[in-house]
Structure 1
Amino acid sequence: MRETGTAGFVGRWWVYLVVAVGGTWVFWLAAIAVGVRFDSAVGLVLLLVGLAVPGVAGVAFVYLVYDERGRSDFWNRVNDPRRIGRGWLVVILLVPLGVGVLAGLVDLLLGGPGPEWGDGVTEFGVNPLAILPALFFATLPPILEELGWRGYALDRLQLNWSAAGASSILGVVWALWHLPLFFVEGSFQHDEVGFATTGFWLFMAGIVALSFVFTWVYNNTERSVLGIVVLHGWVNFTAELVVVPDFAYYGLWFVLAGLIVAIWGTETMTAADDVPHPPARSVR
């Protein structure tokens, strides 16, 4: 059933994306304007509040756009591990690890240094707290982000676009959402990558490739937000533990995205003819 009135306008996919990106940028651009670092107390608050916007907005839009059936469906996708299934849980756990290991081997074959342990591993024996950044990136950001990106936005996009089209749009927006981080000291993007470097372009393009992989998993796990949170967290965690050159790492995510489209097609990225959608609003 076509949504009308306030719910119809608010439910347009671009409205959420404008709110999510704009809301985050308010706090992150404020950090740039006042010149604080993200590893300072004030900077950390601005980082975390901005980071929370996509998820908080996602939950808010669920309650604005959907009726009780849609809201129950949302929380079931967040809480119910049975949607994932054992087979797809194996996929979720093996794919990020496999990409990291294979990227290291590719780099070795090309004459590079190959994989290296991240700081959290090398410093753990001396300072166990060194693992905290890896644990942070594996837990809080995936939860805060995915309640919105996949929990709400991907469904709205797939009402009007193919799985591949939705992945492209969401991937580009997701990449641009990170942009202010390249201008704030104390962030990984500023300190380790840098703006307009080769690493910058690989990072931004790699997020788009990841968006395809996330859609593939999402559509094959009955739209499980929990599965995507685990996948997002495991991608972050493995990348923190095993460091490989960006070209090989992001290149393999592109290869995987291409294989997914080639095997499962652009429309659904599944064996089904149609992607699962949220329940329509009840007619009264």
Structure 2
Amino acid sequence: MVQTSWSARGKREFWKRVFDIRHIGKKWLLLIFLIFPVILAVGYFILFLIGKEIPDFSLYFSGLDNFEAIVLFLVFMLLGGPLAEELGWRGFLLDPLQEKWGSLKASLIVGFFWLIWHLPLFLIAGTSQSQKGFGFSFWSWSLQIMVLSVIFTWIHNHTQKSILAAVLLHFMANFFYPLNLDAQGEIIFSVVRILIILPILISWSRQSRFSLKVITPKVDLS
């Protein structure tokens, strides 16, 4: 009986993408751990400049005062969203979409389904999503999902399609999410996130134009 590539080599490659940190590379690993703290710091710095109250940064580490608490927090944070979701979003869905639609459209499609996946949380009392409601904060959050999807695709494509990279990036995005923003704060953070992805979008646009120039054959009409 002939085994399919997914039943043998495909499975091994998939799980290597989940666990092998060598797929990521040092500079990309550094970027994964810095990009969301930088977005947080820039956003809060702008809020500080316009006279807004900045939340206590110690809140991000609240309750992490012993080894057991840290371990439980890491397990919950990794299993509860990053690992469970990224095996699907970046593990299975993204690459076939990129092959058909390109990086930007694939990112937006994944982002749309990612958004839909979280919608039930807006109806469950006690979740951070339900506290946002379906007002302005909902649309700011939706924009953030789309921006995140672009960032994830960009890093995915530069880390040998590493699922581990996506898991770590997802963890960092969740951990360094801005706290207690009003409408003005939501707008400022939305602008910061858009500015972060602009170089990515410009790079993809240039690559697309270059590819068209290379692929398009010359037609001699003489």
Closer, same or farther in 2 for the Cα pair 1:92/1:217, shift >3 Å? same
- Identify which of 4, 7, 19 aligns with 1:79: 19
Structure 1: segments with no counterpart, 5+ residues: 1-62, 274-284
Describe the SS at the equivalent of 2:175: helix
Closer, same or farther in 2 for the Cα pair 1:90/1:104, shift >3 Å? same
1:113 and 1:231 map into 2 onto residues whose CA distance is 28
Assess if the C-alpha contact under 8 Å between 1:146 and 1:229 holds in 2: yes
Aligned equivalent of 1:102:
42
Matched, 1:265 2:204: yes
2:54 and 2:74 map into 1 onto residues whose CA distance is 20
Select the structure that is richer in helix: 2
1:135 and 1:105 map into 2 onto residues whose CA distance is 31
Larger RCO: Structure 1 or Structure 2 (Cα < 8 Å, ≥ 6 residues apart)? 2
Closer, same or farther in 2 for the Cα pair 1:225/1:268, shift >3 Å? farther
Closer, same or farther in 2 for the Cα pair 1:118/1:133, shift >3 Å? farther
- Identity percentage of aligned residues: 32
Tell me the C-alpha RMSD between the 2 structures.
3.1
Equivalent AA in structure 2 for residue 255 of structure 1: L
Aligned equivalent of 1:246:
186
1:76 and 1:149 map into 2 onto residues whose CA distance is 17
Assess if the C-alpha contact under 8 Å between 2:60 and 2:176 holds in 1: no
2:90 and 2:52 map into 1 onto residues whose CA distance is 36
2:58 and 2:137 map into 1 onto residues whose CA distance is 17
2:12 and 2:206 map into 1 onto residues whose CA distance is 26
- Identify which of 201, 219, 222 aligns with 2:160: 222
2:154 and 2:117 map into 1 onto residues whose CA distance is 21
1:131 and 1:188 map into 2 onto residues whose CA distance is 22
Q: What is the CA distance between 1:75 and its match in structure 2?
A: 1.2
* Number of equivalences: 204
Assess if the C-alpha contact under 8 Å between 2:60 and 2:175 holds in 1: no
Aligned equivalent of 2:144:
206
| Structure 2 length-normalised TM | 0.79
1:89 and 1:136 map into 2 onto residues whose CA distance is 22
Q: What is the CA distance between 1:228 and its match in structure 2?
A: 0.8
Alignment of 1:35-54 (within 5 A): none
Equivalent AA in structure 2 for residue 185 of structure 1: A
Matched, 1:193 2:132: yes
2:82 and 2:21 map into 1 onto residues whose CA distance is 16
1:87 and 1:199 map into 2 onto residues whose CA distance is 33
Aligned equivalent of 1:173:
113
Aligned equivalent of 2:173:
235
Q: Say which is worse superposed, 143-152 or 250-259, in terms of deviation.
A: 250-259
Matched, 1:162 2:97: no
Q: What per-residue deviation string (whole Å, max 9, x for no partner) do you get for residues 170-202 of structure 1?
A: 111111211111111121111x211x2111110
Structure 2: segments with no counterpart, 5+ residues: 212-222
